[in-house]
Amino acid sequence: MTSAERTGEEPRLRPVVLLPTYNERENLAAIIAAIHRVQPELDILVIDDSSPDGTGEVADGLAAADSRISVLHRAGKEGLGRAYLDGFSRALGDPAEYTHLIQMDADFSHDPAHLAAMLEAASSGADVVVGSRYVAGGRTVGWSRRRRLLSRAGGTYARLVLGVGVRDLTAGFVCYRREVLCALDLAGVEASGYGFQIEMKFRCERRGFALREVPIAFPDRQRGTSKMSFGIMAEALGLVWRLRWRERGARQGARG
């Protein structure tokens, strides 16, 4: 039992933000500054996939000047999911013993102003907090009609096939309680691209963890070029059926 539990105090959150980067040189310093303006106590782990534009070098310079920033350099681009899994491993092993790990994009699609509501939900008992575009109060800003249709159709399709309650399955602005990630079989996570977001929420819900969605405004990225494409979404939706059939096979095996 911790001292906070003995005194009846709320345990203090010790979150870390994970920022995966690939060619985000023009965004990195600005997004970190924006995070620290609203949440100055947050540590930030930059996970760079050997960006050819020098993002990793920028990250190293920022880390040298600020103890709240650290950098994980990866050998190359292996997909968003692999970057987050390596980031989880680094953060969970950090001596700081972070209580919560927050996924966040470096391109300003995720507004740091929403961090307060997400951390409040985490402190109120949610195991996983999802910054959601598709609950009451959530919205997208500046998206094309095609992109809105692609996102909503893909998310709805995945929800129906998997039978999950989370409305924004592809959301990438997510806060995980440490114990959730320690309980999951992260080595068994299959998806390496954007399907990673779907697979993680599916695994969390099936394990019985409490997922809560808080509304966010999700603008089109302010700088650089979006990496989303129809091919990436199609790959993620193919994963949905593999997850569905794997779960069905496990249930049949358990009954046998």
Distance CA 75, CA 216 (A): 33
pLDDT in tens, 90-117: 999 999 899 999 999 999 999 999 999 9
pLDDT in tens, 146-160: 888 878 887 888 888
Q: What pLDDT was estimated at residue 156?
A: 86
Q: What pLDDT was estimated at residue 1?
A: 40
Q: What percentage of residues in the chain have a pLDDT greater than 70?
A: 86
pLDDT in tens, 120-133: 999 999 999 999 99
Report residues of the chain scoring pLDDT below 50. Answer: 1-7
Tokens 């390596």 belong to 86
- For the 11-255 domain, the top CATH level (class) is alpha beta
